[in-house]
């Protein structure tokens, strides 16, 4: 949501009233672009160069401010929920729940995806409804099932806080704080949360033939073999890097009710294209061993259950992806495939 000029003035007036300041005119908004020297965010082994939006170059001040906001419960209506509540660094920026909980323990409808490497995704959320990390940040703040905080009261609250006023001024220059400043700071912090240099990366991109165990090596072969796992068709590996996601949307037959109907229409809700019914964005497999439970609805508890689901060809429905088919994998194949996925655990920026 973008603020109109009128709403910014109202926010500024309210903020000044709360802080006890008296001015003849409200302050103008701070600069829309960060001030200060831009920082390079270097991708670890196995990841491509990171694209940076020209209107939000990362700086030391915006990254530090974004980190503080990421853990800030003031972003929620009742001061109980932060971004980190659902994206906890201790569990690879997920929450370990089937479905996430918002204010007053309100249960959402989807599993929290990891923030790690989200900066490389072409779109955000399971259904792709946000084009950028900045846009994504604004959604959970206002969502009634998550933080339940309208944007205008939030910026009033931040503008009334002298410490935040000073920190935003350091990052964006003096002036009124807007929701765009909040989103840009959080997004800059999230862009630093990259995970690479896994055993797979050291094997494939560094040439360390000892980096993968024999089981993981066999699992890699299953993963890439079109006649066996064929996993690589959606969880892609490129010549010089691997995101382990194609960034596209696929219907796997996850989340059918007892009558075989889709409980969640996924991408269709955004596009209204019939073939998008039940389609969800391919999640990355990086750090997958640390981000259970799995699928958009958190319905599969373990990697073993995930592998068995794919071996069975998913659940039949009118829009099942053409790549979904029953797989002929032995128990050894399945064990090896899990060993390979466990070798995708990398080194992340925040432990």
d(CA 110, CA 122): 20
Tokens of 205: 């991109």
Q: DSSP alpha helices (H): ranges in the chain?
A: 5-19, 60-70, 83-86, 133-142, 151-159, 162-172, 179-191, 199-204, 214-224, 268-271, 303-311, 331-342
Whether 269 sits among the annotated catalytic residues: the reply is no
Long-range Cβ contacts of 36-42 (<8 Å, 24+ apart): 36/60, 36/61, 36/170, 36/171, 39/63, 41/191, 41/192, 41/194
Evaluate the omega torsion of the peptide bond into residue 293 and state whether it is cis, within 30 degrees of 0.
yes
107 DSSP 8-state letter: B
- Give the closest residue to 196 by CA, choosing from 89, 119, 114, 286: 286
Number of DSSP helices (H) and strands (E) in the chain, helices first? 12, 4
d(CA 255, CA 287): 23
Q: Which of 146, 152, 167, 342 is catalytic?
A: 146
Tokens of 13: 């007036």
CB atoms within 10 A of CB 145: 17
Cα end-to-end distance, the chain, whole Å: 32
What is the radius of gyration, based on Cα positions, of the chain? Answer: 22
The angle at the Cα of 250, spanning 233 to 198, to the nearest 5 degrees, equals: 50
CB atoms within 10 A of CB 323: 13
Residues designated catalytic: 146
């Amino acid at each position: 949501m973008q603020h109109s000029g009128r709403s910014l003035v109202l926010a500024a007036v309210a903020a000044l009233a709360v802080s006890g300041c008296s001015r003849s005119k409200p302050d103008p908004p701070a600069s829309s672009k960060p001030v200060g020297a831009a920082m390079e965010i270097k991708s670890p082994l196995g990841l491509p160069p990171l694209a940076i939006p020209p209107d939000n170059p990362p700086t030391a001040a915006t990254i530090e401010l974004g980190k503080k906001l990421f853990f800030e419960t003031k972003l929620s209506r009742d001061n109980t929920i932060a971004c980190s509540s659902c994206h906890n660094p201790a569990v690879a920026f997920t929450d370990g729940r089937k479905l996430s909980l918002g204010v007053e323990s309100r249960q959402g409808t989807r599993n929290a995806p990891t923030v790690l490497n989200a900066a490389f995704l072409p779109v955000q959320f399971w259904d792709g409804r946000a084009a950028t990390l900045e846009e994504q940040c604004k959604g959970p703040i206002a969502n009634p099932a998550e933080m339940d905080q309208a944007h205008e009261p939030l910026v009033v609250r931040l503008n009334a806080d002298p410490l935040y006023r000073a920190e935003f001024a350091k990052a964006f220059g003096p002036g009124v704080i807007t929701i765009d400043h909040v989103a840009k700071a959080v997004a800059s912090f999230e862009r630093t949360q990259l995970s690479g240099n896994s055993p797979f990366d050291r094997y494939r991109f560094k040439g360390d033939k000892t980096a993968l165990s024999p089981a993981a090596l066999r699992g890699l072969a299953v993963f890439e073999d079109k006649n066996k796992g064929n996993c690589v068709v959606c969880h892609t590996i490129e010549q010089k890097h691997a995101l382990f996601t194609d960034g596209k949307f696929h219907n796997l037959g996850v989340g059918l009710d007892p009558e075989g109907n889709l409980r969640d229409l996924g991408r269709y809700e955004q596009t209204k294209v019939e073939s998008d019914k039940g389609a969800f964005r391919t999640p990355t497999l990086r750090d997958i061993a640390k981000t259970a439970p799995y699928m958009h609805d958190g319905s599969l508890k373990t990697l073993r259950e995930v592998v068995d689901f794919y071996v069975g060809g998913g659940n039949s429905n009118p829009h099942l992806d053409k790549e979904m088919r029953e797989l002929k994998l032995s128990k050894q194949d399945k064990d090896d495939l899990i060993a390979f996925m466990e070798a995708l655990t990398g080194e992340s920026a925040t432990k």
